[in-house]
A and B are shown apart, each in its own frame.
Chain A
């Protein structure tokens, strides 16, 4: 019997272990992970490909982490079934781990669309360290790569492959890259930088078929786009997005929507069963509803909140929102919330100086900031994020917020003093 059982040992699982140990120094913890060394940062796998980071550098907690926290880490193991009535998790091989409190932090898996030839050698997904390791073995012998999807994962892997000297083509179904988090103007700044780095961007297209080599059809030789164009390549990376891994809860009483539904304590609909991270639909403070947000910082925070509550310290999840910091192709960007509103009813403030690649945009609703994009000049973005999170009415000073001189000193003195004294 283990008091706490955690399935998944990435951002959320690690956060939960740390939080549990802050409250309960003795309760037994068992963590189950499919990965052999789960305590690394998944967002860093592109740095592994580019050669910038070794596995050692990618470790966000050291190798003693599990031992130090007296957590039994069952690595390289898969949880295959849950029995929520008898309260145990069944592992591959049939052994069972009983629990008192269970956290499902199973994360996401890459979404793979139906593409003819997607099973060929040379086609990769890009989510875990094993994915990156597999891809890394093929880079030396490869010359050209096609990346399907120009979201965060697609852009990160495209940059890494370009740095390794490959000729890269990014294929994006939408009209613009990073369309979920940027607006057309910000997208264009990144697109220009990407093209400058020698990467080809094809938008409004997707890959309909992956071709095999004439001498061996099982090995990738090229990709056929929706318009029929052929792009010769040795590697295809599918980077369209991730979907929650909900296999374990299928057929149980755990309520799901697109992900596992949780309340503000990260509890699922089944008592003593919690969920956190990319698999959970947690509260979004901008949309004021629960949403799927596959983001590392939120997964970690959700895991912490789950851990506290599992160990008996009542803690509310403050909520997250779509929030991304980007470093790719030398263009620092921060995008939060509704950065590109599609409906009416929003006020948009923009300052754009193309020659300096300076772009700041704020989206307001009833004088409260609900979205932002900062390009290049990002160091004060956190102040805006703070105003956003606290629903501060910015009516009296909104124009200042996008000026080049914006900083804490530009805020009204009462607000500034409140913010600074709190810390």
Chain B
């Protein structure tokens, strides 16, 4: 499976990963429209962690033995056996926040609605996830890892 790796030594903390994640998860997929005309604005599923001079971006690690999948009360969080990705079904999510409690990376967010969670889905419509493709300094890279 593929995993997104953060290289904190080259991260400038620009936050473009969050911007492009928001755009990719918007209805319009257009940066201007997503930021100015979509209310509420879709949240970014990647989070830039900063504590100057340290910065790096973190998103769902799609863990092999994912604690969020085991803990999920509603069956919304699943491990896709083919792709190795942890998928989240918004329709099934009950917004109980149990996955947030057990994610060691703090990588699961409350969605703007406050009723369900949102997390990285590796941008299924793209060959390379938006945060990786748009990182100007190569601080996010996509790597093939053994399952």
Contact = CB atoms under 8 A, between A and B. Distances in A.
A300 B51 contact: no
Of B50, B74, B91, most buried by chain A (CB within 10 Å of CB) is B74
Main secondary structure, interface of A, reads helix
A381 interface: yes
A381 B101 contact: yes
A300 B72 CA distance: 9
Given A382-B106, A383-B106, A405-B51, A44 B74 contact: yes
Given A379-B109, A420-B105, A407 B74 contact: no
B106 A59 contact: no
Contacts of A419: 104-105
B97 interface: yes
A329 interface: no
B137 interface: no
B56 A409 contact: yes
Interface string B76-112: 0000000000000001101111101111111011100
Nearest to A332: B97
Given A41-B74, A380-B106, A385-B102, 9 more contacts: A43-B96, A58-B74, A297-B98, A300-B71, A327-B97, A379-B110, A382-B108, A407-B106, A408-B106
B93 to A, nearest CB: 10
Interface residues of A, number: 42
Contacts of A380: 106
B94 A41 contact: yes
Contacts of B103: 382
B72 to A, nearest CB: 8
Contacts of B75: 41, 59-61
A161 interface: no
A383 B47 CA distance: 14
A44 B27 CA distance: 30
Interface string A143-181: 000000000000000000000000000000000000000
A327 B6 CA distance: 32
Interface of B: 6, 47, 49-51, 54-56, 58, 61, 63, 70-75, 91-92, 94-98, 100-106, 108-110, 114
Contacts of A300: 70-71
A408 to B, nearest CB: 5
A378 B100 contact: yes
A56 to B, nearest CB: 10
A214 interface: no
Interface string A226-242: 00000000000000000
B125 to A, nearest CB: 24
A395 B59 CA distance: 27
B51 A296 contact: no
Of B58, B63, B96, most buried by chain A (CB within 10 Å of CB) is B96
A41 B95 CA distance: 13
A407 B6 CA distance: 15
B3 to A, nearest CB: 8
A334 B96 contact: no
Interface string A295-336: 011001100100000000000000000010111001010101
Contacts of B109: 379
Contact of A325 (B47, B100, B105, B106): B100
Top 7 closest A-B pairs, CB basis? A423-B61, A60-B75, A386-B104, A297-B71, A382-B103, A409-B51, A409-B49
14 contacts: A43-B94, A44-B94, A60-B73, A296-B98, A301-B71, A379-B109, A379-B110, A382-B100, A385-B101, A405-B51, A409-B51, A409-B56, A420-B6, A423-B63
A278 interface: no
A352 interface: no
A304 B106 contact: no
